[in-house]
Structure 1
Amino acid sequence: MSDAISFHAVSLVATARTALQAAQKIGDRRAGRDASEQQPADDVWFDLEVLLRELQTHVARLRLRAAVGVEDVASAVQSFEDRLLIDDFARVLDVMHQKLLSLYPAVDEDLVEDVRRFGVAAHARALEDDAADGSTEFAIEAARLSDRLAELG
């Protein structure tokens, strides 16, 4: 496959992904699921359980990626997929942060802030040229945060 075809395929995937995420956000808001609004605690706890399962799936994939090394052409594809995965992880953390704010002060302020900080760091990491560097450490930190969140419920 030529480089031009590969580039167009990656561009198509990225564009479709962005459109899907925008449609999901619009659908959520129309359905009354807006994470930026204060919500009742029961609704938030339910949403956090669902988000935690999604976060744990991303953590498992991050750890697997860190353990498996891939070279040459597959490396470019792997790098793109890793960036998408890290971006998904960051997106889940953004929503979790908003949900946790609805529960504050019933939840630890440090945890709420750690979720926010790690989400910001993950968004930045997804855009870095060397996103693969330190992937093992990132996966370990992601797992630690996921474990702390799991202890809430």
Structure 2
Amino acid sequence: MSSTSADGGTDSNDAPDSAAVLQSMTLLATLSTAEEVREAVAERRAGRDPSAQAPSGLATARLAQARETLLELLMQLVLGRVPFERQEEDKLAHAVRHFDLLMKLRRAERLVKAMHQDLLSLYPDVSESLVEEARHVLHEIRSLLDTEGDTEEDEVPALPDVLERGLSFAVWTRHEV
């Protein structure tokens, strides 16, 4: 039996309204995209071309910040894969967890792309193999995102493998830069 609160909402013991949750996820995705556009416009207005070589000091600082954010994000994804002792997850909870995974993978993709560009700016002061590893990590994340839900593809890397490679890349970057 569901009770209604004074504001017309449902009691906290009831399951969340799936339409409201899906609307919230849509809003979050829209805001995330808007923030990406805002950042790109701000960079352009400040006279910085993301495809251009950055000065060494700027590239190093951006790389350090992106690396730490990437490590944190990938660890969140690793911890999200830890099995919980609970009953079967309902469809709405599964959709929310899957949405969170995709949003974090998209963020990781943007971070690795920026890190690759900064590593190119620092080359030859960083090893060619590290620059190449950034490209491989980016390719694996994109492959995973592009084929999300397509289980017939044999070339798709497994999420745990992508996470492990991404973490290794971030640690390698910490040691070399």
Q: Distance in 2 between matches of 1:134 and 1:48?
A: 26
| Secondary structure at 2:176 match in 1 | coil
Does 2:163 correspond to 1:148?
no
| Cα distance in 2, alignment partners of residues 104 and 98 from structure 1 | 10
Cα RMSD, aligned residues only? 2.3
Q: Which amino acid aligns with 1:129?
A: G
Q: Is the 8 A contact 1:44 1:102 kept in 2?
A: yes
Larger Rg: 2
Q: CA contact under 8 A between 2:140 and 2:162: conserved in structure 1?
A: no
Q: Secondary structure at the match of 1:67?
A: coil
Q: Is the 8 A contact 1:67 1:136 kept in 2?
A: no
Query: 5+ unaligned residues in a row in structure 2: which ranges?
Result: 1-15, 152-156
Distance 1:7 1:119 in 2: 29
Choose which of 115, 120, 126 in structure 1 pairs with 2:134.
115
Q: Which amino acid aligns with 2:149?
A: D
User: Which runs of no fewer than 5 residues in structure 1 stay unpaired?
Assistant: none
Which stretch of structure 1 is more off in the superposition, 6-15 or 37-46? 6-15
Alignment partner of 1:134 is 2:153: no
2:110 maps to a residue whose letter is R
Counterparts of 2:48 and 2:83, CA distance in 1: 37
Higher relative contact order (CA 8 A, sep 6+): 1
* 2-structure distance, mates of 1:85, 1:134: 16
> How many percent of aligned residue pairs carry the same amino acid?
28
Mapped to 2, the partners of 1:17 and 1:109 lie a distance apart of 32
Number of residue pairs matched by the alignment: 152
Per the normalisation by structure 1, the TM-score is: 0.86
Structure with the largest fraction of helix: 1
Paired residue for 1:54? Answer: 69
TM (norm. structure 2) is 0.75
Any idea what SS the aligned residue of 2:81 has?
Answer: helix
On the 8 A contact 1:93/1:115 being kept in 2, the answer is yes
